[in-house]
Structure 1
Amino acid sequence: MKKVTKFLLNKIPRPMLIKMSIWARPLIYKFYKGDQFYDPIDGRSYRKFLPYGYGKQRENALSPGTLSLERHRQMWLYLQNETSFFTKNAKVLHIAPEQEFLRKFKRMKNLNYISADLFSPIVDVKADILDLPFPDDSFDIIFCNHVLEHIEDDAKAMSELYRVMRPGGWGIFQVPMRNSLEKTYEDFTITDPKERQKHFGQYDHVRWYGMDYFERLRKAGFTTEPNFYSQNFSDEEIKRFGLSRNEILPVVFKK
């Protein structure tokens, strides 16, 4: 059963899995119901989380109910514990939205929530991150997670995100990072999908970000520092929430 689960999770794209999980949730919850793990996004407890990973499998990474990964649950906990996101009125731009977040955020009465992407059929606005169709200083909050690693000219993308964020605004820009890298590893001559998988961890990625990611964000105008938010939790909580202790949450601000 474990091998079958791993095969399906790696062969079926997560967006499709999320769509399938919406109608299957009652059955999924009944099968995985327990008290060992807790998903803060749906507020439910499970006997286990599922393994996930394109290469080496990470145990207890994928929540059965929301199909959230470690980074999604970390972001949710940050929003819940450290911000007024769920209560204060705000205009929000979400680039290439995660489907579970999209579903929940669109229901929130305090948000003027706009989703955007160049290819996704589920977003509000078809938009190229290199040329966003919004006026300057439009949004209080911007989410742009696991997008920039696909973009060769990430400096231009960052400058566009900065342009459309209002002064006093903030955002979360998660990317695949290797904390052991001082400098980002990128090579645009590598175009073969198999070679990109080998070098960058995924067939459509163009880089692995290193710790200089934050300097790139600062060059675009943002104020930011590495935020190891998961380390605010105890070892027991990290295990229960299914977090990664050393994963960085890139929170940015515009003064």
Structure 2
Amino acid sequence: MKQLIKSILPQIVIKKYNGYRAYQKYKGKEVFCPICNSYYKKFAPFGTSKRESRKCHNCGSLERHRLMFLYLIEKFNFFDKSSKDKIRLLHFAPEKMFYNIFSENSGIEYTPCDLFPKQYDGKTKITKADITKIPFKDNSFDFILCSHVLEHIPNDRLAMSELQRVLSKKGDAILQVPIDFKREKTYEDPNITSREERLQEYGHPDHVRYYGKDYKERLESCGFTVNVDHFISTLSKNDIFKYGLLESELIYHCKK
């Protein structure tokens, strides 16, 4: 019956209905999503471990997205529309909640990219781009956002070098990946190719490595200057709970 209903009703109707159900079930003021300005009793569980209070019921943001959003506001005043100069923003594999915000911001010259652009449907055109061969000139962008992409790329150093190449000389890049901080060195094995093996070894069937604490050095080897920012430590315990953040999350802020 559920499948029949899904096949008949438009997706926007289903989304609004699911949003209404979530609001009724999780109605409250304990947690807050700063991206879509929604309050709930708690966020939804998400992931293979189904860790509690991770995903926003409205915009779908996870802990890392909300932390990124707060960081962009606090460190870069990113959404200030009063500036005369537009930010030339390159965004790889754009998350839907960010894609919508950036597309509507008149202060941003937005260039979202993905290897499979047809999966997106929105106001701003998605440029088809291979991150290991970015189709833009040197120094083309003032800001680059690339979150949880590099762990999917076999030649991640080539991708890092390409990101460094297209970043302007005074530009900023936020390059996030999942990291196992118990590992001193990144773990990867080109002989691990099946989805089952990758799930077992890397925690995800589409990942090709598990980054360790040497991620910073990996970025630096490709020409970046890297500031590992423990931004979350500047937030109170109450705010960390309210925004549904992970205390272990670090921001990898890179410059040329």
Query: CA contact under 8 A between 1:21 and 1:65: conserved in structure 2?
Result: no
Correspondences of 1:133-212 after superposition (within 5 Å):
133-212=135-214
State the secondary structure of the residue aligned to 2:192.
coil
1:18–1:67: 8 Å Cα contact kept in structure 2?
Answer: no
Select which of 108, 112, 128 maps to 1:111. Answer: 108
- How far the C-alpha of 1:44 sits from its partner, in A, is 1.9
Which residue number in structure 1 is paired with residue 29 of structure 2? 35
1:158 CA displacement: 0.3
Specify the SS of the correspondent of 2:170.
Answer: strand
Counterpart of 1:52, as a letter, is F
- Aligned equivalents of 1:120, 1:31: Cα separation in 2: 34
Q: What is the match of residue 64 of structure 1? A: 57
Equivalent residue runs for 1:202-241 within 5 Å: 202-241=204-243
Deviation at 1:41, TM superposition (A): 0.5
Give 1:58 shift.
1.2
- Find out whether 1:99 has 2:96 as its counterpart: yes
SS in 1 for 2:198: helix
**TM-score normalised by L of structure 2:** 0.87
2:217 alignment partner, SS class? helix
**In structure 1, what residue type is equivalent to 2:209?**
R
* Residue aligned with 1:171, SS: strand
| Counterparts of 2:88 and 2:141, CA distance in 1 | 5
| 5+ long unaligned stretches in structure 2 | 1-10
How is 1:68-87 mapped onto 2 (pairs within 5 angstroms)? 68-87=61-80
**C-alpha separation in 1, matches of 2:64 and 2:54:** 9
Unaligned runs of 5+ in 1: 1-16
- Answer yes or no: is the 8 Å Cα contact 2:117–2:127 preserved in 1: no
What count of residue pairs does the alignment treat as equivalent? 237
TM-score, with length taken from structure 1: 0.88
Change (3 A) 1:44 1:199: same
Is the partner of 1:172 in helix, strand or coil? Answer: strand
Structure 1 residue 19: deviation in Å?
11
Partner deviation per Cα, 1:117-160 (whole Å, 9 max, x = no partner): 11132252101111111011000000111110011111100000
Aligned-partner Cα distance in 2 for 1:114–1:79: 17
- The worse-fitting range, judged by mean Cα deviation, of 118-127 and 60-69 is 118-127
Offset at residue 26 of structure 1 (A): 4.9
- CA distance in 2: counterparts of 1:214 and 1:20, whole angstroms: 42
Pairs within 5 Å for 1:14-33: 21=15, 24-26=18-20, 28-33=22-27
Question: Residue 214 and residue 38 in structure 1: after superposition, are their counterparts in 2 closer, same or farther (change >3 A)?
Answer: same
Q: Shift in Å at residue 207 of structure 1?
A: 0.5
Question: Rg bigger for which structure?
Answer: 2
Maintained 8 Å contact 2:45/2:51: yes
What is the aligned partner in structure 2 of residue 44 from structure 1?
A: 38
The answer on whether the counterparts of 1:105 and 1:111 sit within 8 Å (CA) in structure 2 is yes
Identity value in percent = 42
Once the two structures are TM-superposed, the CA of residue 251 in structure 1 deviates from its matched residue by 1.3
Q: CA deviation at 1:51?
A: 0.8
Aligned CA RMSD, in angstroms, stands at 1.9
Alpha-carbon separation, structure 1, partners of 2:113 and 2:179? 24
Distance 1:181 1:125 in 2: 35
State the match for 2:8 in structure 1: none
Distance 1:242 1:229 in 2: 15
- Evaluate the alpha carbon distance shift between residue 83 and residue 182 of structure 1 in structure 2; reply closer, same or farther with a 3 A threshold: same
**Secondary structure of 1:189's partner?**
coil
